[in-house]
Structure 1
Amino acid sequence: MSIESLNQQHIDVLKEIGNIGAGNAATALAGMLGKKIDMDVPKVKILDIQEVAEVLGGEENIVAGIYFNVHGDIQGNIMFLLDLDSSKLLTNMLMGKSSENGELDEMDRSALREVGNILSGAYIASLVSLTNFNIHHSVPSLAVDMAGAVMSVPAIQFSHISDKVLFIETELKEGKDLVEARFFLIPDEPSFEKILNSLGVY
């Protein structure tokens, strides 16, 4: 099965995984911050990998991309992406700062890697709980650059696997503060079949 051949039932199942994962992520973030975090219902779509930069505000928009390799019973890759404003807001929330400077210093970058690690782990935990698969992810890599440049690496590296990505967008809120978190799953095609088989919809 290819990603583009997924029907609405398949996408509904993947959306439910996204819902559970986003809930886990909100809980994990609330635990890190010691604050209540509200979450909007995630949006789940299948996108061409070339479309991702536009979703992020255009190819020249500066974003923070946190990248993981996924291995075990399924294979693939995850990118956790934030625009610069959400990145700075999240690190300010995490470290109790109120910096208006849009630049990310080394402490901010370290905090983003840790947040990405925890939030991506929350999504993987949702997959594990639903499928009973053995799944792990690698140590995170962080890139802060224009969206086109950040996405060019997986586009080139995984063009032989797929030109489609599973897009999950979640809004996390703490009071009036809003963080737009975007996850992109770049799987190999057998992994989609395994996931759907385990959930009885393939």
Structure 2
Amino acid sequence: MNTISPELNSSLLEQLFSAATHDASTAMCRWTNGQITLTLDEIAEMPLEEVSTNLDLGDDLLTMVALTLQGELGGTMLLTFDEENGRSLAASLLNRPRATTPEWNELERSALNETGNILGCAYMNALTRFLDAELIPSPPYFLQDFGASVLQQALMTQALTCDTATICRTTFRREDQALDWNVLFLPTQGLRDRLMNCTTA
């Protein structure tokens, strides 16, 4: 059952992200030959300083694919994996055994970047339709670091314009198995205000 935080309590916003998640799931299903699907669990807002604790990312090595939106209606979308799930996805997409070397090679990075691109475009296309304003994400880029450090890199710029993160919690599944992936969406204050105005109009 989807849960919306009190500040975002709007059926329109829930419909928006449900539609975006549905589009993303369809795209992921095509991209992974039917292996991966996703469903929306919750939309919530929280202070930036609480995000790391709330997501319980811990101090394990994380892999992240990030996309950014420039301008007033900007923001950042992050797709995070633990090492096991990130490596397994890359191996599946490349149709080769899971790599065991410490460093990610260029093909593995490219496979995850394209995954982030597919998810990001699905979400941004839904936002574009909803806001009637074109949102163009940057090319995805690959980051790797430890737990809170990964998240801090993404939140650093966000803190200049907004002190709140909007989180779309999702469940990713490979067949019937839940995967340890997270999608984190961080709109700028301008985009957040536009979303709020649209959902309360």
TM-score range normalised by the length of the shorter chain: 0.7 to 0.9
Alpha-carbon distance, 1:130 to partner: 2.0
**1:138 equivalenced with 2:138 (yes/no):** yes
Once the two structures are superposed, the pairs formed by residues 68-87 of structure 1 within 5 Å of their partners are: 68-71=67-70, 74-87=73-86
Opposite residue 128 of structure 2, the aligned amino acid is V
Count of paired positions: 196
**1:47 equivalenced with 2:46 (yes/no):** yes
Task: Tell me how far apart the structure 1 counterparts of residues 59 and 84 of structure 2 sit (CA, whole Å).
Answer: 15
Alpha-carbon distance, 1:143 to partner: 0.8
Q: Which shows bigger deviation, 94-103 or 29-38?
A: 94-103
Opposite residue 151 of structure 1, the aligned amino acid is L
Structure 2 equivalent of residue 34 of structure 1: 33
Once the two structures are superposed, the pairs formed by residues 49-198 of structure 1 within 5 Å of their partners are: 49-71=48-70, 74-99=73-98, 101=100, 103=102, 105-106=104-105, 107-198=107-198
- Secondary structure, counterpart of 1:35 in structure 2: coil
Alpha-carbon distance, 1:36 to partner: 5.5
Q: Which shows bigger deviation, 32-41 or 166-175?
A: 32-41
**1:7 equivalenced with 2:7 (yes/no):** yes
Alpha-carbon distance, 1:165 to partner: 0.8
Alpha-carbon distance, 1:172 to partner: 2.2
Alpha-carbon distance, 1:80 to partner: 1.8
Alpha-carbon distance, 1:138 to partner: 0.7
- Secondary structure, counterpart of 2:40 in structure 1: coil
Alpha-carbon distance, 1:191 to partner: 1.6
Opposite residue 191 of structure 2, the aligned amino acid is S
**Normalised TM-score (structure 2):** 0.83
Q: Which shows bigger deviation, 163-172 or 13-22?
A: 13-22
**Normalised TM-score (structure 1):** 0.82
Residue by residue, what CA displacement relative to the aligned partner does 1:136-163 show, whole Å, maximum 9, x if unpaired? 0111121111021112223332322122
Task: Tell me how far apart the structure 2 counterparts of residues 71 and 155 of structure 1 sit (CA, whole Å).
Answer: 15
Which runs of 5 or more residues in structure 1 are unaligned?
none
What is the RMSD computed on CA atoms of the aligned residues? 2.6
Alpha-carbon distance, 1:56 to partner: 4.4
- Secondary structure, counterpart of 1:34 in structure 2: coil
Which runs of 5 or more residues in structure 2 are unaligned?
none
Change (3 A) 1:7 1:79: same
Residue by residue, what CA displacement relative to the aligned partner does 1:16-43 show, whole Å, maximum 9, x if unpaired? 3222121111111111122254433332
2:65·2:80 contact (CA, 8 Å) conserved in 1?
yes
Opposite residue 142 of structure 1, the aligned amino acid is F
Task: Tell me how far apart the structure 1 counterparts of residues 147 and 159 of structure 2 sit (CA, whole Å).
Answer: 18
2:28·2:37 contact (CA, 8 Å) conserved in 1?
no
Task: Tell me how far apart the structure 2 counterparts of residues 99 and 51 of structure 1 sit (CA, whole Å).
Answer: 34
